[in-house]
Structure 1
Amino acid sequence: MRRGFFAESSLARLSREFGMFGPLHGSPDPWLTAQLDQHAAAVRDSISAEGARVSHRSLARYLHGFMDGCRERGWCSGSDTYDWETLRVLSVCRLAKEYGFVR
């Protein structure tokens, strides 16, 4: 197992669960790629604004805080559309894959 890979981390579980949406594997439509790029940039900016670098820990911390906020607002991922929250979670999962934190 590579260094930094956490098989049962929240990032790994969420990446598996959200993998059903498709854009984490293969080539998504250009509009979706652009949306995920924008969300990923916002996530990186948010992490660096706190004085941290993107790491497994900082990304997991961001994800936990984001999901807590979603739950407080009553958001549910049961939809088959790409709403704002789904795009943000997918971008976190994509960052986790790009940085090698999940497969």
Structure 2
Amino acid sequence: MPSGTSVRHPLAGLTRDFHRIGPLDRPIEPWMCAELDQHAAQVCEGITASGGELNARTLGTYLHGFLDGCLERGWDSEAVEYDWETLRVLAICRLAKDRGFVR
């Protein structure tokens, strides 16, 4: 099987969806690049600090838990253009693409 995540994997689906609305395939503004880098570093640290290894499974599990928490708090991705939660999800998607977890 080629490297990358199956299109059925939550990371692949969400990355595809956010790719349409987010700046993942074109140059981005410096402020956003810094924000996404900071979010990605925090995600990596959170996964590895708990003894996990950063891979498609652990990143997908993190994403699932993060989105569950957002939904429990009533977050709506269409309510604000680039709120904290949207930036975190974009950072996860970008991290998944950069690490080759999704195609």
Normalising by structure 2, what TM-score? Answer: 0.93
1:59 aligned onto 2:65: no
1:22–1:28 CA contact under 8 A, matched in 2: no
Count of aligned pairs between the two proteins:
103
SS of corresponding position for 1:32: helix
Residue equivalent to 2:30? 30
2-side partners of 1:40 and 1:56: how far apart?
A: 14
Residue equivalent to 1:44? 44
AA in 1 matched with 2:58: S
SS of corresponding position for 1:23: coil
Residue equivalent to 2:70? 70
Structure 1, unmatched stretches of 5+, are: none
Residue equivalent to 2:93? 93
Q: Percent identity?
A: 54
Moved segments of 4+, more than 6 Å:
none
2-side partners of 1:90 and 1:4: how far apart?
A: 18
AA in 2 matched with 1:7: V
Compare 56-65 and 1-10 and name the one that shifted more.
1-10
2-side partners of 1:5 and 1:66: how far apart?
A: 19
2-side partners of 1:66 and 1:5: how far apart?
A: 19
Deviation string for 1:39-95 (max 9, x for gaps)? 000000000111011100000000010000001000011135110000000000001
Normalising by structure 1, what TM-score? Answer: 0.93
Structure 2, unmatched stretches of 5+, are: none
